[in-house]
């Protein structure tokens, strides 16, 4: 019997948060190697050093580790530059917090191959290589846990996979990127457009100096791919999920949205269709103010899961940051130490065809150099594609050389709107790209 199967079958006690009135059996501590000692790693170390007595941090691996060393951790911990040390016989679980695809993938493979369970907060690793690593874990009789890879401290991976296991979920939607949500909340508050809000987010450390992954939706789509797996049992490559940027949003869009009883959020959504395909997309959308999605402020995350039997269940909280993410990592460590992970990775999943087609009302914002005949020209093209206009909104106070106005469209396929846009964008009075946003019902 290898070490990891000892762990997964051990009935270890729950973390001793407090001296208990109820006796519980003693169990040998489970040894943990932490690979990556940044913000999340430090938080994990702090939680481990302060409470769950049966989890024992034994190794900390980091490049140039001496500059990382802290004095508040026990002396027995081995500080090392060398990942090989994490494969020491004494280690039961390797926590991968280096991020990115390589060497994270190679290290996770090596740890699993050595019979160690792996806990990771790495969304890209799981979104891209989850199936291969889960299969390796299964063959090795180890666990691969990734609760921290989606929505930080919000326990949505276990919530979908275990808490709602009894339902048949068909839709998972949410706000999965705190950086975008912070930026959009800032624009909503007024006074700044996208560029200003991004700058502020960067100054506060909420956005990277290269914000592409967040702003273009690549971060959220990796998380959505993971949720589609754990919630809908569908295998989706992140690259198959359509993404649209939030970079063209301006303050005026929120003013018009507000007139429609809405705000704007980056929405990630995966939905099983009756034809067996999976709709999956990450895009900015108009969200009714009464929706829980509209009320997510700043860097919070929210996931709504909809099932055949249980209806809509919502999970929300802090989706990022060292401490919340560390809570998810430690919760996974406890689950493995308690032998509660058995069978997770055996959930049958299926490969599905992915579509980005949907029917929705649309909100189009045009910025034009004003002159007579604009509405006629635009509505003529829309009519040609059989698209009906619901409303035209035009606020006063903008220069006629750069005049924004909005049309909302009656529910129709987004592909039809895309075709019309292709023609509309060539109209010579358009002075900015047309912004098209779906409106959530």
Among 26, 81, 132, 135, binds a second copy (CB under 8 A): 135
DSSP 169: E
Q: Is 1 in the site for a second copy (CB under 8 A)?
A: no
Tokens of 146: 């990734």
Whether 384 is catalytic: no
Nearer to a second copy, 186 or 363 (CB): 186
314 binds a second copy (CB under 8 A): yes
* CA–CA distances in Å: residue 277 to residues 168, 243, 269, 351: 16, 18, 14, 10
Q: Among candidates 25, 89, 91, which has minimal Cα distance to 53? A: 25
Other C-beta atoms closer than 10 Å to the C-beta of 401 total 10
* Smallest separation (angstroms) from a second copy to the CB of 329: 7
Based on CB atoms, which residue is closest to a second copy, 339 or 413?
339
Contact 222, 247 (CB under 8 A): no
- Cβ 324 to a second copy shortest distance, Å: 5
Contacts with a second copy in 227-266 (CB under 8 A)?
Answer: 233, 235
Q: Could you say which of 3, 223, 384, 411 is catalytic?
A: 223
Instruction: Name the helix (H) or strand (E) containing 38.
Output: none
Among 328, 406, 417, 424, binds a second copy (CB under 8 A): 328
Choice between 215 and 303, CB closer to a second copy: 303
* Token reading at 188: 């909503």
Size of the site for a second copy (CB under 8 A): 75
CB of 174 to a second copy, least distance (A): 13
Query: CA torsion, points 101, 102, 104, 105, in degrees to nearest 10?
Result: 80
340 binds a second copy (CB under 8 A): yes
Cα-based distances in Å from 75 to 57, 69, 319: 11, 11, 32
- Taking the complex as a whole, the smallest distance from the CB of residue 185 to a second copy amounts, in Å, to 13
Rounded Cα distance, 279 and 159, in Å: 22
Q: Residue 319 or 438: which CB sits closer to a second copy?
A: 319
Q: Give CA angle at 336 (324, 339), nearest 5°.
A: 140
Render 18-87 in DSSP notation, one character per residue.
S--SS-----PPEEEEEE--SHHHHHHHHHHHHS-TTEEEEEEE-TTGGGG--SSS-TTPEEES-GGGGG
Secondary structure (3-state) at 30? strand
Residue in 3, 4, 7, 12 binding a second copy, rule: CB under 8 A: 12
C-beta of 116: minimal distance to a second copy in Å? 18
Min dist. Cβ of residue 200 to a second copy (A): 22
Restricting to residues 168-207, which ones interact with a second copy according to CB under 8 A?
Answer: 168
Looking at 67-75, 88-96, 197-205, 315-323, which segment touches a second copy (CB under 8 A)? 315-323
Q: Is 16 an interacting residue with respect to a second copy (CB under 8 A)?
A: yes
User: Residue 269 interacts with a second copy (CB under 8 A)?
Assistant: no
Q: Which is nearer to a second copy, 196 or 339 (CB)?
A: 339
As annotated, the active-site residues are 223
């Amino acid at each position: 019997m290898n070490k990891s199967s000892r762990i997964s079958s051990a009935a270890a006690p729950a973390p001793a948060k407090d001296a208990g009135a109820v006796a519980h059996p003693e169990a040998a501590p489970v040894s943990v190697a932490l690979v990556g000692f940044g913000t999340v790693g430090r938080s994990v170390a702090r939680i481990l050093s302060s409470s769950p007595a049966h989890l024992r941090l034994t190794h900390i691996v980091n490049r140039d580790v001496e500059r990382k060393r802290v004095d508040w951790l026990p002396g027995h911990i081995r500080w090392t530059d060398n990942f090989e040390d994490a494969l020491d016989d004494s280690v039961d679980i390797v926590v991968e917090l280096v991020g990115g695809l390589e060497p994270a993938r190679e290290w996770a493979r090596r740890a699993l191959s050595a019979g160690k369970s792996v806990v990771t907060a790495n969304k890209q690793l799981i979104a891209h290589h989850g199936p291969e690593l889960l299969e390796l874990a299964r063959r090795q009789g180890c666990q691969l846990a990734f609760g921290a890879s989606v929505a930080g401290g919000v326990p949505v991976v276990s919530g979908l996979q275990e808490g709602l296991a009894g339902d048949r979920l068909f839709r998972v939607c949410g706000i999965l990127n705190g950086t975008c949500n912070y930026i959009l909340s800032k624009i909503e508050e007024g006074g700044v457009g996208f560029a200003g809000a991004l700058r502020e987010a960067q100054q506060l450390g909420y956005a990277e100096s290269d914000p592409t992954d967040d702003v273009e939706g690549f971060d959220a789509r990796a998380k959505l791919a993971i949720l589609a797996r754990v919630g809908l049992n569908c295998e989706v490559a992140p690259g198959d999920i359509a993404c649209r940027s939030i970079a063209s949003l301006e303050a005026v869009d929120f003013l018009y949205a507000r007139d429609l009883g809405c705000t704007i959020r980056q929405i990630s959504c995966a939905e099983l269709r009756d034809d067996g395909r999976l709709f999956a997309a990450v895009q900015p959308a108009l969200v009714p103010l009464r929706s829980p999605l509209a009320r997510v402020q700043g860097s919070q995350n929210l996931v709504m899961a909809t099932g055949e039997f249980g209806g809509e269940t919502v999970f929300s909280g802090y989706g990022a940051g060292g401490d919340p993410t560390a809570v998810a990592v430690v919760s996974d460590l406890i689950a493995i130490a308690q032998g509660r992970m058995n069978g997770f990775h055996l959930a049958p999943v299926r490969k599905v065809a992915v579509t980005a087609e949907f029917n929705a009302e649309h909100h189009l914002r045009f910025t034009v150099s004003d002159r007579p005949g604009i509405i006629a020209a635009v509505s003529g093209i829309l009519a040609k594609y059989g698209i009906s206009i619901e409303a035209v909104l035009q606020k006063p106070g903008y220069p006629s050389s750069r005049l924004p106005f909005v049309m909302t469209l009656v529910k129709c396929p987004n592909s039809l709107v895309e075709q019309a846009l292709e023609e509309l964008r060539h109209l010579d009075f358009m002075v900015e790209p047309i912004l098209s946003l779906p409106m959530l019902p």
